[in-house]
Structure 1
Amino acid sequence: MAEVEATKSLAGLLNGIAQKEYHNKEEISEELLKNELYPELPAEEFHALHEKMKGLLKSIASADMDHGQLEAFLTAQTKKQGSRGVSVEQAAALSRFWKSQRARVRESLLGQSRWEPGLRGLSWRVDLQTSASRGEAAHSNPVALVELELGRSGQDSEFVCLEFDEAKVNQVLKKMADIQESIDTIVNRG
């Protein structure tokens, strides 16, 4: 019976940590989790358990571990000595939790990594403006028109229209070349 309660408490702790860290449930605090799940455990012991499980979940989630990677990771954790390692029961609870919550945690992390509002669409065209009066020769100035569709998750799009003359188009292209050069420099360093 005590083992079943310990497993339930650990599952609750992992769910609580995930709710706070990955699903932005600010009302879930370390103190709340302690009072609800481990009322008899001294505060410093609970804090150590909480931080260990939070760190392990962060490692598992940031690597988006598949089943094989998870099992290898947890096996290595069970072989660590003392308070640095995890028990077989803790490893089993982590494994069960990750198998059931991987997709939700992954989706949450992807959502947190997106800039909002995001670019949903882009369309453009080049127009030639012409002017002619009283038989004068027509002359044209090309103008680039760019329409950006912007939006936040779950909301309707907003549209922004930009107009560029040839000089502005060249400035934008130069900036984009500079950005690409910076990215290439960083990528080639690593």
Structure 2
Amino acid sequence: MAEVDAAKSLMGLLNGITQKLYYDRSDVTEELLRRELFAHLPHEEFRALHERMRGLLKSIATADMDHAQLEAFLTAQTRRQAGGGVTAEQAAALSRFWKSQRVRVRESLLAQSRWEPGLRGLSWRVDLRTAARGEADPGGPVALVELELGRAGQDSQFVCLEFDESKVNQLLKKMSDIQESIDGIAHRS
């Protein structure tokens, strides 16, 4: 019976940590979890358990571990010595918890990583101006770009941009510079 209660408390702890980390529940505090689930544990012992489970959940979520990766990771964690590892019961609870929560945590992480408003659509065309009466030079081609921007669950907003040839070249140069910076960072990692 005590083993069942311990497993339920650990699942509650994992759920509480996930609520705080991935679902922005600021009302779920470390103290609340200790008081509700592990009141019998000394404060420092609970803090160590909380931090260990929090760290493991972050590692599992960041890697978006599938079943095989999770089992290998948890097996390695159960073999660790000196306070950093987990018991077989804790590993089993982590495995059950992750199997039931993986999709929701992944969706939450994706939602947190999106910029708002987001780009929903882009359309463009190039127009050639014609000379008006009495105008000798109509000018060069003009690129018209329409961006559709929006937040989740809201109507789109549209932004129209007009570029002459020099502005298009400046934009392409800036985009090339950004790509070089990204490539430089990606190759260093």
TM-score (norm 1): 0.94
SS of residue paired to 1:172: helix
Task: Name 1:33's counterpart in structure 2.
Answer: 33
**Equivalent pairs, count:** 189
Counterpart-to-counterpart distance in 1, 2:50 and 2:178: 42
Equivalence for 2:2: 2
In 2, the alpha carbon distance for the partners of 1:41 and 1:61 equals: 27
Preserved contact between residue 77 and residue 86 of structure 1 (Cα < 8 Å): yes
Secondary structure in 2 aligned to 1:176? helix
Amino-acid identity (%): 74
Provide the rounded CA distance (Å) in 2 between the counterparts of 1:51 and 1:179.
38
1:19 alignment partner, SS class:
helix
Matched, 1:150 2:149: yes
Unaligned runs of 5+ in 1: none
Helix, strand or coil: the match of 2:58?
A: helix
CA RMSD, aligned part only? 1.5
How far apart are the structure 2 equivalents of 1:38 and 1:180?
50
d(CA) in 2 for partners of 1:63, 1:37: 28
**Counterpart position of 1:84:** 84
What is the CA distance between 1:165 and its match in structure 2?
1.4
Partner of 2:163: 164
**SS of equivalent residue, structure 2 residue 152:** coil
Structure 2: gaps of 5 or more residues = none
Distance 2:110 2:132 in 1: 54
After superposition, the C-alpha distances for 1:105-145 in whole angstroms (9 at most, x for unaligned) are: 111111111111111100011112222325x6563432111
Q: How do residues 1-190 of structure 1 correspond to structure 2 at under 5 angstroms?
A: 1-133=1-133, 139-190=138-189
- Inter-partner Cα distance in structure 1 for 2:84 and 2:133: 84
Match of 1:121, SS state, is strand
Q: What are the Cα deviations for residues 3-33 of structure 1, in whole angstroms up to 9, with x where unaligned?
A: 1100000000000000000111111000111
Q: Residue 65 of structure 1 aligns to a residue in which SS?
A: coil
Cα distance per residue 1:37-92 (max 9 Å; x no partner): 11111111111110000000011111111111111111111111242111111000
Mean CA deviation greater in 95-104 or 172-181: 172-181
Tell me how far apart the structure 2 counterparts of residues 89 and 187 of structure 1 sit (CA, whole Å): 39
SS of alignment partner, residue 130 of structure 1: coil
Contact 1:130 1:141 in 2 (8 A): no
Q: TM-score, normalised by structure 2?
A: 0.94
Q: Following TM superposition, by how much is the alpha carbon of 1:156 offset from its aligned partner in structure 2, in angstroms? A: 1.5
Q: CA–CA distance in 2 between the matches of 1:70 and 1:28?
A: 26
Task: Name the SS for the 2:140 alignment partner.
Answer: strand
> For 2:188 and 2:88, how far apart are their aligned partners in 1?
41
